[in-house]
Amino acid sequence: MLPANNKRAGIAINGRISLPTSIVPRQIPLFTRKAIVEFPQSQETADALGEVEADDRHLYYIKGDSHGHFTRASEWLSTHIAEEVGITTPAPAVIERLDHSVVFGSRRIAGVSDLMTTYTFLMSATISNTSKQVVGLKEVLSSIYALDLFLYNDDRHLGNYLSVPDGDIRRLYAFDFSRALFWKWPWDGFPTKDDKTRVCGQLLQQLHGFDHAAADATLDRLGALDDSTIQSFMGRMPSDWLSPDRRADFAAWWSDGAKMSRIDNLREGFSNGTLL
């Protein structure tokens, strides 16, 4: 099973799934990428500053801190945590803009046509006996949902999934963690039923079902993710992206038992249906 074996998310076009036999951890960038060209936003989003072409010749969506929140830190840490537990995300980067400000970058991997294809793909039911089954989709969506609730991401919607072709499969990416982690820190419970993540989650569960084993596997991996790994993520992040007090607070939360308590509460909520 895809999530339980910690494989990257691959969704079959033809009803079969093709995945690598192992995961090579993504190398955290050692150097800041420099923007060589800046573009205005190609699509309207709440927190993005636009797009840049960086000195590695890739295009990146860029974000700075917004509304008094540590948006750059939320994106950086959430993206690396997602990858660490087997959920595929666009490659992150630290980007220096032309004005020398330093922002979070998410590598652009798809165009408008891929966004439209993703919407159609996700809105096509696979749960009924008469629907074409897509192996792995329910498991991947359930894993992303579990991570979003863990990180208190209240803004997951159909517009921040991406499904792009990769050989004979479509690979599903989750992106945009601006409203996760530090947006509402310290957390009080979980996103509510009226938040986008829960509304979108219920819609996708109606269309594709919910895989409890996949969600549990994601929570298992979050539980096993030790504080030294989190410290390494923060250590590669520019120091001014997160205040010293908030760094210490989050590191303590991760290591002092609060993380495991949150995971236990999520398991209970998935089991009794109150968080579905």
Nearest of 146, 190, 155, 163 to residue 48 by alpha carbon: 155
Looking at residue 134, its pLDDT comes to 72
Which of the 8 DSSP states describes residue 132?
A: P
DSSP 68: T
Please report, rounded to a whole number, the percentage of residues in the chain having pLDDT higher than 70: 84
Are 173 and 9 in contact by the 8 Å Cβ rule? The answer is yes
Cα torsion for 38, 176, 63, 223, to the nearest 10°? -130
pLDDT, one tens digit per residue, over 90-149 is: 999 999 999 999 999 999 987 766 888 899 889 999 876 555 667 789 999 999 999 999
Is it the case that residue 15 has pLDDT exceeding 60?
no
Per mean pLDDT, which range of 64-68, 79-83, 198-202, 254-258 is the poorest? 64-68
User: Which pLDDT score, from 0 to 100, does residue 115 have?
Assistant: 82
Q: What is the mean pLDDT of the chain?
A: 87
Domain boundaries, the chain: 1-26+35-276
